[in-house]
A and B are shown apart, each in its own frame.
Chain A
Amino acid sequence: MIKDKREVARRGEAAAIPTAWEYAPAPESREIVHFEDRYGLYIGGQFLEPLSNERYTTIDPAREEPLAEIAQAGKADVDRAVKAAREAYAERWSQLRPSERAKYLFRIARILQERSREFAVVESLNGGKPIRESRDVDLPLAAAHFFYYAGWADKLEYAFPNRTPRPIGVAGQIIPWNFPLLMLAWKIAPALAAGNTVVLKPAETTPLSALLFCDVVRQAELPPGVVNIVTGDGRTGAELVSHPDVDKIAFTGSTEVGKAIQRTLAGSGKRLTLELGGKAANIIFDDAPLDQAVEGIINGIYFNQGHVCCAGSRLFVEESIYETVISKLKRRMKTLRVGDPLDKNTDVGAINSKQQLDKIGSLVQSGIDEGAEIYQPPCKLPERGYWFVPTVFTNVAQSYRIAQEEIFGPVLSVLTFRTPDEAIEKANNTPYGLSAGVWTEKGSRILAMAQKLRAGVVWANTYNRFDPASPFGGYKESGFGREGGRHGLEPYVALDGS
């Protein structure tokens, strides 16, 4: 280990080199995107003015510039959308042959692929995420999700042995702002494949890709009312949740709101799936491939500015390699490029909203106040927009808020362990249970750790991988129900039989 330290120290001398690299700006053109000045609500196959007569402005968080006026759907608007979805369900979508449903979904997948650059720019403009991520992660995965579930539409009886799956009816779906289009795909694709119609509410701050998706729906010539999009803040979501003619609610967001939804639906008999918060442990053993592990740590917490429910926000490092890992991690952090989301060189983009920036700031302050040691690489931030420097805390106690609460930002808390049992004990010591990471070259240890970690997704020697064929969802207070894979169909079917 001492040898390692010297080695690290020696390399540390030379570490200035990567940070000295200068990149010329490489901005993605935004000309491919055209926004309307104002958007209505997409109900029954057309954009309608909101009956609420309320609107708000959606912005580009990297420039604090307005992008468009968005409708704030009220009770009557939600009611109209649910009625349109009900009618489409009864008269069109549930009557359609499953093989025809499949073809509509294949069409949507193809159109998303064709228009992926346009959508990627919209995601980065409205959400603040680096174009590299919207282009290489969000869009390909969203299209793949539709393609995957398209194929299920006429094969449902093979997914549920000894049962005749039927659609449920109208699904109300509420999605977050961290992966706006991808979350839309996760919600709409399985719902439609199983024969349901949907009313979807995108997040307040990121409605534009969902509104642009309405044009994909139009191009695919989907029957009117099968997909309805209502925009607005939490009030719109609450109206959707409590609407009596919605048969199923699917929610992705905070644990706090998830609990409120579960309370609202208590006794209603409505079906519910929740994909909520997380505080994932990313566990590094002393035999791990350290350079790969450091990339995994970086990807685990700084991917999408840490706005990821399954982010590896608690790093557990085996004590014997602690100093080596921290020094490699800090070196790597110095090379992260924070800035314009539309620049193809950007690694970390803008924080999604002022509100989220304030929340991150206050939790980071609590970490400092409670006694953790903060490190932030030297970093020049743009003058306008919402930004937060990638941050790592060491000397963190389990009890600190930064080790307990979901920060949903580029902030990593580092803890240590000596034995696998201790790692398990600490990793599981949270009400959350969405995901976890394990890094070791020892196969039997990977499987033992994977078995003992109470989390719905375990990434071994990798992190933050997603695929439409791979079920995703939480244990404990991270929610229930799965999205992705054969299991992702289950929330959207009723199963007859005893």
Chain B
Amino acid sequence: MSRLPVRKTYKLFIGGAFPRSESGRTYDAEGANVARGSRKDLRDAVRIARQAGAGWSGMTAYNRGQVVYRVAEMMETRRAELAGLSSGADEVERAIDRVVWYAGWADKLAQVVGSANPVAGPYFNFTIPEPTGVVGILAPEPPLLGLVSRLAPVLVGGNTAVVVASEAHPLVAIELAECLATADVPPGVVNVITGLRRELAPQLASHMDVVALDVTGADGDLAELERLGAENVKRIVRGKADGQSPYEIEAFLELKTVWHPIGM
């Protein structure tokens, strides 16, 4: 007696929920009908990501680190599913270990990236890193490790993200979204849109509420995306699709310097 398996419907991940594209469209990828996110879906995601910013960046660094660590825990329990949708166990294990590595950075960034500045006068002066805001990510390949390598530094620094998943291999991004949804990552902090890059990337690059754009995975016209990004002086980040470093986090941080007089 064979049992008919229950299939998963692959939808978008916006505001902690898994909606279909408002357009009702899908496209065929990896043998599934994947949601073909529209520009409206992307705008919704940016709006929600922006709203989620205050809560996520306002968390203590210790707390944020624990949430990111919990993402690794959730990934660990879904190793088989993630492996089936990526290049295999090795990619999954490296991705999980990378999340753990980044989780530990949350409460060390200010000490490594910030500074106390010895100015020539009676002032206390210090510089601290702060999240830049909503970050747009064009996920690079390989679909899981690439996405995790770009998303984890954005997240751990306190930013919120709108991810455009790999067009050819979108399923693992949604699988990862399910890990995020069960890892106490607050709704809206990460949003994943699947669909066609040529429709979505220019929209993400030109959106005035997207403060930084990660183009590591850009496979289209990079020059055009950067041009669109100039409209609100976007931070354009070309990072490594497979690498980990505090400098990758720093690319999505602003530095704030505070002065106060010293006196009795």
Query: Which residue numbers of A lie inside 8 Å of B, CB to CB?
Result: 144, 161-163, 255, 258-260, 262-263, 265-269, 274, 276, 431, 446, 450, 455-462, 465, 467, 469-473, 475-480, 482, 485-487, 495, 497-498
Q: Do the beta carbons of A471 and B117 come within 8 Å of each other? A: yes
A487–B127 CB distance below 8 A: yes
State which of B138-146, B179-187, B238-246 sits at the interface with chain A.
B238-246
Would you call B119 and A469 a contact (CB within 8 A)? yes
Knowing A456-B256, A462-B259 touch, does A266 contact B226 (C-beta < 8 A)? Answer: yes
- CB-defined contacts of B255 to chain A, threshold 8 Å: 456, 471, 473, 482, 487
New contact pairs (15) apart from A162-B245, A495-B247, CB-CB < 8 Å = A260-B230, A267-B223, A274-B233, A456-B256, A457-B259, A460-B259, A462-B123, A465-B123, A465-B259, A470-B119, A470-B127, A470-B259, A471-B255, A475-B256, A498-B244
User: In the complex, what distance in Å separates the CA atom of A163 from the CA atom of B247?
Assistant: 10
CB distance from A322 to the nearest CB of B (A): 25
List of 8 A-B pairs having minimum Cβ-Cβ separation, nearest first:
A267-B223, A266-B226, A262-B230, A467-B119, A266-B227, A498-B243, A460-B260, A469-B117
Q: Which residue of B lies closest to A487 (CB)?
A: B255
- Given A456-B254, A467-B119: A480 in contact with B259 (beta carbons within 8 A): no
Q: Are A267 and B211 in contact (CB under 8 A)?
A: no
Q: Are B115 and A475 in contact (CB under 8 A)?
A: no
Give A435's nearest chain B residue, CB to CB.
Answer: B257
Beta-carbon contact of B230 and A485 below 8 Å: no
Q: Which residues of B contact A486 (CB under 8 A)?
A: 115
Closest CB-CB distance, B240 to chain A, in whole Å?
7
A497 to B246, CA, bound (A): 12
Complex partner residue of B257 from A144, A260, A457, A478, CB under 8 angstroms:
A457
Q: B229 contacts which chain A residues (CB < 8 A)?
A: 262, 266
- Given A258-B233, A267-B226, answer yes or no on A462-B260 (Cβ-Cβ < 8 Å): yes
Q: Verify A259–B230 contact, CB threshold 8 A.
A: yes
A450 to B221, CA, bound (A): 39
Q: Which chain A residues border B211 with CB–CB below 8 Å?
A: 476
Asked if B5 is an interface residue, CB under 8 A from chain A, the answer is no
Measured CB to CB, the closest approach of chain B to A242, in angstroms, equals 13
The docked-state distance in angstroms from the alpha carbon of A467 to that of B127 is 13
**Digit string of B110-132 for contact with A (CB within 8 Å is 1, else 0)?**
00100101111101010100001
A467–B260 CB distance below 8 A: no
Q: A462-B259, A470-B125, A470-B257 are in contact. Are A477 and B115 (CB under 8 A)?
A: no
1/0 per position for B62-100, CB-CB distance to A under 8 A? 000000000000000000000000000000000000000
Query: Which of B115, B226, B232, B257 lies in contact with A458, CB distance below 8 A?
Result: B257
Least distance between A132 CB and chain B CB atoms (Å): 17
Q: When the two chains form the complex, which single residue of A161, A450, A480 contacts B235, counting CB atoms closer than 8 Å?
A: A480
Q: If A467-B119, A480-B233, A485-B115 touch, does A459 touch B227 (CB 8 Å cutoff)?
A: no
Let me know if B231 is at the binding interface, CB within 8 A: yes
A144 to B120, Cβ gap below 8 A?
yes
Residue of B nearest to A292 (CB): B261
Q: How many angstroms between the C-alpha atoms of A487 and B115 in the bound complex?
A: 9
Q: Identify 25 residue pairs between A and B in the complex whose beta-carbon atoms are under 8 Å apart, listed by A's number.
A: A262-B230, A263-B226, A263-B227, A266-B227, A268-B223, A269-B238, A450-B256, A456-B254, A456-B256, A456-B257, A457-B259, A458-B259, A460-B258, A462-B260, A465-B123, A467-B121, A467-B123, A469-B117, A475-B132, A475-B254, A476-B232, A480-B233, A485-B127, A487-B115, A498-B245
Closest beta carbon of chain A to B102's beta carbon, Å: 14
User: Are B233's CB and A255's CB within 8 A?
Assistant: yes
Cβ-defined partner of A459 (8 Å) among B112, B118, B259: B259
- Contact partners of A472 in chain B: CB under 8 A: 257
Q: Which residues of the partner chain B approach A455 to less than 8 Å between Cβ atoms?
A: 256
Q: Is B222 an interface residue (CB 8 A)?
A: yes
Q: Which residues from A are CB-within-8-Å of B244?
A: 498
CB within 8 Å for A259 and B231 given contacts A459-B259, A485-B127: yes
Rounded to whole Å, the gap between the CB of A245 and the closest CB of chain B is: 19
Q: With A458-B256, A465-B123 in contact, is A431–B232 under 8 Å at CB?
A: yes
Residues from chain A with a CB closer than 8 A to the CB of B125 are: 467, 469-470
A311: min CB distance to chain B, Å: 16
A446: nearest chain-B partner, CB-CB: B260
Please determine whether B245 and A497 come into contact, CB atoms closer than 8 angstroms.
Answer: yes
Q: How far is the CB of B132 from chain A (nearest CB, A)?
A: 8
Residue of B nearest to A141 (CB): B120
Which chain B residues border A266 with CB–CB below 8 Å?
222-227, 229-230
| A129 CA / B233 CA spacing, docked (Å) | 30
Q: How far is the CA of A476 from the CA of B235 in the complex (A)?
A: 9
Residues of B within 8 A of A467 (CB): 117, 119-121, 123, 125
Bound-state CA distance A478–B232 (Å) is 10
Contact A259 B259 (CB under 8 A): no
Q: Which of B223, B224, B235 has the most CB of A within 10 A?
A: B223
Distance of A358 Cα from B152 Cα, bound (Å) = 50
With a cutoff of 8 Å between Cβ atoms, the chain B residues found around residue A274 in the complex are 233
Contact A470-B222, Cβ < 8 Å, known A259-B230, A482-B255, A487-B255: no
The interface bits of chain B over 175-212 (1 if a CB of A lies within 8 angstroms of the residue's CB, else 0) are 00000000000000000000000000000000000010
Q: Select from chain A the residue with minimum beta-carbon distance to B127.
A: A471
Minimal Cβ-Cβ distance residue in A for B124:
A460
Closest residue of A by beta carbon distance from B230: A262
Give the residues in chain B near A495, CB-CB below 8 Å: 247
Given A267-B226, A462-B261, A477-B233, CB of A485 within 8 Å of CB of B243: no
Chain A neighbourhood of B245, CB < 8 A? 162, 497-498
Q: What 0/1 readout, one digit per residue, does chain B (156-181) give for beta carbons within 8 Å of chain A?
A: 00000000000000000000000000
Q: How far is the CA of A96 from the CA of B244 in the complex (A)?
A: 32
Closest to A479 in B: B233
Set B119, B121, B233, B247: member contacting A476, Cβ < 8 A: B233
